[in-house]
Amino acid sequence: MKIEKDFSLKHHNTFGIDAQADWFVTYDSVDDLRILVRDEYFQECRYLHIGEGSNLLFLANFHGIVLRSGITGIEVLRESAEEIELRVGAGMIWDDFVAYCTEHGYYGVENLSLIPGQVGSSAIQNIGAYGVEVERFITSVHTLHRRSGQERCFSRGECAYAYRHSTFKEAEQADYIVTHVDFRLSKVEHLALDYADLKRYFAEHDTKPTLTSVRQAVIEIRQRKLPDTQILGNAGSYFMNPIVPAQVADRLRQAYPQMPVYPLEDGRVKLAAGWLIDQCGLKGYRMGRAGVYEHQALVLVNHGGATGQEIATLAEYVQQAVLERFAVEVYPEVKYIS
């Protein structure tokens, strides 16, 4: 366990916001966490658990303790000819886990390649991309309660997964710290290729989709659409795609026949937030040191030296523009920390 005081978070959030934390604690085991929860000062302090900081926007310095998991490793729990179940440390880099699965011939998470963050964050956020959400492969999430020190394993059903949501994002569950995540993956070829960008990629490359080539395709598509955080600070997709009643989507399609829509099983319709923002003429728009990425309207960027508040002000401007034009609200996927 490593404890640091008056710690700069600039390199621990992908927006590159130079916020400070009173304390920064990196722990490497469940035993480390048990020691922390027995500490009276830790119990009294405000705390924030982060992964790679890829879904956070610091609006101010953080007065309290920032925790970061260093629990890594992959354990095989069960294996058959068709499936394998793995237990993965919450602190493992998510894309390292995807690479491991691809190298070993385990199908399922390849469409989630190159998503920033840690394995624990993936289970909290229910990350998704290119027609796949991680909840499909999670069987259980192991946690330790920050105040009681009690360990609890949440089944997939208890995680209450929905679009970019889990029970761990609810206030009453905020004290559960994820330590490990269990996944069930297929050893039999099963590829999700319905997403338009993937269809287009393989049509253009005239290549047979395989586990390896799908991962490579996703990486190439993401690198083409999203800026490198080392060059332009960003958090990937800033806004969630809005989900609206079918009648709202029908009304909009009458006015905008080319608008992409994605019908859901419950009868509602998911709209493409990036398309809505683009139609407002905001792609490439700048507000001081903050801007909308010129190649993908769903991404807000730090052009250098922007504060978290500047990014948030730009986000509010984008939200208002979409609301005025389409009467649809878009909400940040990014979590604001003040």
CA distances from 206 to 66, 194, 218 (A): 48, 16, 16
Angle subtended by helix axes 196-205 and 211-225, to nearest 10:
110
CB under 8 Å to 79, separation ≥6 — which residues? 85
Q: Is 140 a catalytic residue?
A: no
Q: Is 164 a catalytic residue?
A: yes
- CA pair distance 71, 230, nearest whole angstrom: 25
CA distances from 22 to 40, 61, 191 (A): 16, 8, 46
Tell me which of 136, 164, 251, 253 is the catalytic residue.
164
Tell me which of 133, 140, 237, 310 is the catalytic residue.
237
Q: What are phi and psi of 255, to 5 degrees?
A: -85, -30
Question: Strands 56-58, 138-145: parallel, antiparallel or unpaired by DSSP?
Answer: unpaired
Tell me which of 52, 135, 310, 333 is the catalytic residue.
333
The enclosing H or E element of 160 equals: none
Q: Is 146 a catalytic residue?
A: no
- CA pair distance 296, 47, nearest whole angstrom: 33
CB under 8 Å to 142, separation ≥6 — which residues? 87, 151, 152, 153, 154, 178, 179, 180, 181, 182
H helices of the chain, where? 30-37, 40-44, 94-104, 119-125, 196-205, 211-225, 246-255, 273-279, 308-326
Residue positions annotated with a catalytic role: 164, 237, 333
